[in-house]
Structure 1
Amino acid sequence: MQPKLAIILAIIIVIIIVGAAAAMLYPKPTPTPTPTTPRTLVISHWGFAWDKIKEIVIEPFEKKYNVKVELVSGRTAERYAKLVEGAEPLPDVIFLPDYYMYRAAEKGLLEELDLSKIPNYEKLYNFIKNALAQTEVGKYGVPHTIQDVLIFYRSDLHAPVTSVKDIWREDFRGYIVLPDITTTTGPLFLVLTSIAYGGSVENVEPGFDALEELKGGIVTFYLRSADLMSLFERKEAHIAPGLRYQIGALQGVNKTLGGVIKYVIPEEGSIFTLNLMAIPKGAKNKDLAYELINFWLSTEVQKKLAEAGVDAPVNAEAEIPPGHYYNIEPVTRKPIYIKPEILAAHLEEWIDEWKTRMGTG
């Protein structure tokens, strides 16, 4: 080997040895992995009690699935109209009462659900699953809460109430407040009255006949929970039908009055409606939509939402203490469900007849 070539090879070997030693002494730092950009999941919801929902549901879900939840809030009719119009952003999950969800399904706006992707569905109360099995909307929507009709009354001024018919008692005349037929409570109360007076879910004429007898003794027909609260606070209301969630809304007023506003499930039964979750057709994140629906139905989330006074649970494993107003075990004893198909077929004529016979038109 020529001396010059030997020197060059020696230099190369030295460089390699020094480089290897340096690599061992000063290893290259492992690069920090760049977190995946969170996907955005759009949900259409009323937005009530959102601070509590955000804490109990949204933030844990965002953390678990590396997702950012975007809320589109508004009243039921407003959000339903946006869905029909195809307004942007299109929600990945929409929350609506069963009647509106049925209308959306009839228009072909919703995905038919694959319940195998919602394992927590199996934890629902049997009476709720049975109700959904009777209606087409059960293919498209999954309930996240239940609302049943109760009767609120001033227990300090009147004898105990047990029946819908007690509203017709003479001692309540002049202090009766009823829901307007256009509210969620209105049609439920009409049907419950009809059942009490010999009618049925579809035969509401006995209900209308009975309600006409109350004319002259009714203070007003309320449209919002705030109206009901105000009427009890001003001592103008002594009795009123309402939904279970209104117990929470009335707590402040009831405390001011000394806890005298009581509520009762009427002996005729627990007539109820369901608020549902569904996936609109064209949703961009169906996989995450299924995950959110299943997460919302989990035992832990359902229990926490009930204890926080947000929603009554539909998960039978979410144990709520006896006496808590969101313990719905009493509802299971005599449940009455109005299928959305019945409301879709009859609600407009009921509204027209109500306006004519009750003088609210």
Structure 2
Amino acid sequence: MKKFACLTLALGLTVTLAACASTSTGGSTGNELVIEGYGAEYQSIFEKEIAEPFTKKTGIRITYTAAGSASEQYASIRAASGDPGFDIAVMTSLELYQGSKDRLLAPVTVQQVPNLARVPQKLQAKTYGVGAIQDVQQVVLMYRRSLFAKPPTSWQTMWDPKYRSGTLIFNPANILGVYAMLSAAELDGGGIDDTEPGFARIKELAQYALATPQASAGAVPYMEKGTATLFPYLDGRAAIYAKTTDYDYTVPGESSYASLGSLGVPVRAKNKEAAYEFIDYWLSDEVQRRWALAYNVGPAVTGLPFPADFAAKHITTAEKLEKIKIADPETVTRNRTTWGQQWAEAVR
């Protein structure tokens, strides 16, 4: 088996964005908002497309800190008993679920965030009353263009002897690894309640795989060098590297899982009113469309106009949203540690 160590990027850059105006026009009690989220391209796009326009419109200054994964951000909230020193965390719906169980995230309702009412019920149900979903990603199959005359049509292609030596197997510590494992299990009749077929497939593939990244950023060097053949990825980052490398992406015929980008407010946050105003802003039509196009993700509000080539590769309609699978958060949360142990045993 080939094994390679994958480096995790340490992201700690903090940028403060200030407006010329000194007060909010939207009724906030303060003119400052502290947000903790992801780094790399996410941070730069967030600053340009979300933070700067919001500050210009409202006068509310945003301090943004890139602090790691969604699970790490929630761990900070838990460790601080709901007072981590920031007002909003960029997470996933899994952290919203955990925050609702722990009572460490503040309620988010349509009274506080009116635009929440425009989000489809399928997504509203995944906020558990303590946050909002601002975008929808899907797990896609990233493949090297020069190796395929046509895009691959099945997850099964990763086990093809022609391609398996260049595959990547993601650790379930990253949610991408969880969804990839579930998709593998479903190829042999398993699923979220029967994951053994998935780990059997991972064990088989691990004999040949190129690498076992801890995070999605770990795939970037293999794309830049052109050594990877195909692997699961999220469509947001996939679209970015499809523009700069020999790689493209497709949704396999077996369908896929959604990763729901979410915003949570710690229960003891200092600037809740500003946080609610910010969430409502992000759920407006103009901002939803701008963010989707900039970050290459589906919006949380369906029915917005998008170019045909964009709509073909992202979840932009109610019909596509209805078809995408959303893993049960209680099952994922309960089993994730065990799944991590099983994954480590399968790839060793």
TM-score class normalised by the smaller sequence: 0.7 to 0.9
CA distance in structure 1 between the partners assigned to 2:207 and 2:326 by the alignment: 31
Q: Bigger shift: 305-314 or 264-273?
A: 305-314
RMSD: 2.5
TM-score (norm 1): 0.79
Asked if 1:106 corresponds to 2:96, the answer is no
CA distance in structure 1 between the partners assigned to 2:207 and 2:154 by the alignment: 21
List alignment gaps of at least 5 residues for structure 1: 1-33
Aligned partners of 1:180 and 1:223 also within 8 Å: yes
Distance 1:226 1:94, change over 3 A: closer
Report matched runs for 1:1-361 at 5 Å: 39-48=31-40, 49-76=42-69, 77-86=71-80, 90-124=85-119, 126=120, 129-133=121-125, 137-160=127-150, 161-251=152-242, 253-254=244-245, 257=246, 261-309=247-295, 311-324=297-310, 327-329=314-316, 331-332=320-321, 334-359=323-348
Give the residue type in structure 2 aligned to 1:339: D
Aligned partners of 2:298 and 2:316 also within 8 Å: no
Q: Bigger shift: 44-53 or 235-244?
A: 44-53
Distance 1:310 1:88, change over 3 A: farther
Distance 1:167 1:278, change over 3 A: same
Give the residue type in structure 1 aligned to 2:272: K
TM-score (norm 2): 0.82
Distance 1:89 1:169, change over 3 A: closer
CA distance in structure 2 between the partners assigned to 1:36 and 1:335 by the alignment: 42
Give the residue type in structure 1 aligned to 2:38: W
CA distance in structure 2 between the partners assigned to 1:169 and 1:36 by the alignment: 60
Give the residue type in structure 2 aligned to 1:65: T
Aligned partners of 1:142 and 1:277 also within 8 Å: yes
Distance 1:89 1:103, change over 3 A: closer
CA distance in structure 1 between the partners assigned to 2:231 and 2:343 by the alignment: 17
Q: How far off its partner does 1:159 sit?
A: 5.0
Aligned partners of 2:45 and 2:295 also within 8 Å: no
Q: Which structure has the bigger radius of gyration?
A: 1
CA distance in structure 1 between the partners assigned to 2:221 and 2:63 by the alignment: 33
Count of matched residue positions in the alignment of Structure 1 and Structure 2: 316
Give the residue type in structure 1 aligned to 2:295: G
List per-residue Cα deviations over 1:258-278 (Å, max 9, x = no partner): xxx231111111211212112
Q: How far off its partner does 1:344 sit?
A: 1.0
